[in-house]
Amino acid sequence: MIEKRHSSRVPFDSARPVSKEDLRTILEAGRWAPTAHNMQNFQIVVVDDERVLKDLAGIKRTVSETFIRENFEHLSFSEEELRRRKVGILGTNFPPSWRTPGVKPNPEEGGIRALPACPTLLVVLYDPSRRAPASEGDFFGAISLGCMTENLWLAANALGIDFHVVSPLASGSAEAEVKRILSIPAHLRVVYGIRLGYAATPPPYLRVRRDIEDFCHHNRFGTKVKD
């Protein structure tokens, strides 16, 4: 299940809802995630009302030049290159100016990114009042959110439900709009949205990972692990 887990960045079938039983199973998995000091520093808003989903989809989510510039460094331009590098993503899904060397990236070329269709959206919130003790910048709190999300993800995939993290909902004015629409208290932070549903088309993404020998060291850094 871990190896089959994937992100479905495609529209979902809005006419095919996630059952209440399956949603409960997914949230139960999140409930039992390990969190630093057992602070359980998250809240989740489940959105399945079509009108609310439409309001959230209408939020303007722009892309910064900084994102485009830093994203470019991680792009491969063929499946062969991606398999060789073992990290990053294919650049073929991005607009030309975002993936062409020497060309000034134009954020408007990608247009206003709409929230892809989905029957259920989970909005994950971070509660800074539940900060892990002696954790500078609440680094362990961030790890805890990742653990909780991974639990949700694996549970969803085990049920055959597609999963997609939508991070731009947490940026700048978009976060303010999400909080307004969902009546989220001021002290909570939007971490990201999670689309749940059933992909209308199969995700076309090539998935690669480094080999164990590429990142694991034996007894001291630089000494590779042997079989």
Q: What is the pLDDT of residue 112?
A: 53
Residue ranges of domains in the chain? 20-62+112-215
The secondary structure of residue 136, as a DSSP letter, is G
Q: What is the pLDDT of residue 111?
A: 55
Q: What is the pLDDT of residue 218?
A: 93
**Residue pLDDT, tens place only, 3-58:** 988 888 888 998 899 999 999 999 999 999 999 999 999 999 999 999 999 999 98
Give the helix ranges, DSSP H, for the chain.
20-31, 50-57, 65-72, 79-85, 96-99, 139-158, 172-182, 212-215
Q: Calculate the average pLDDT of the chain.
A: 90
Strand partners, 162: 197
Overall CATH class of domain 20-62+112-215: alpha beta
Residue ranges of the chain whose pLDDT lies below 70: 110-114, 204, 227
Q: Count of residues for the chain?
A: 227
Residue 51: both structure tokens together: 């009108």
The position carrying tokens 């997609």 is 164
Residue 111: both structure tokens together: 């247009």
Q: What is the pLDDT of residue 166?
A: 92
Q: What is the pLDDT of residue 206?
A: 84
Greatest extent of the chain over all pairs of C-alpha atoms, in Å: 56
The position carrying tokens 């004015």 is 173
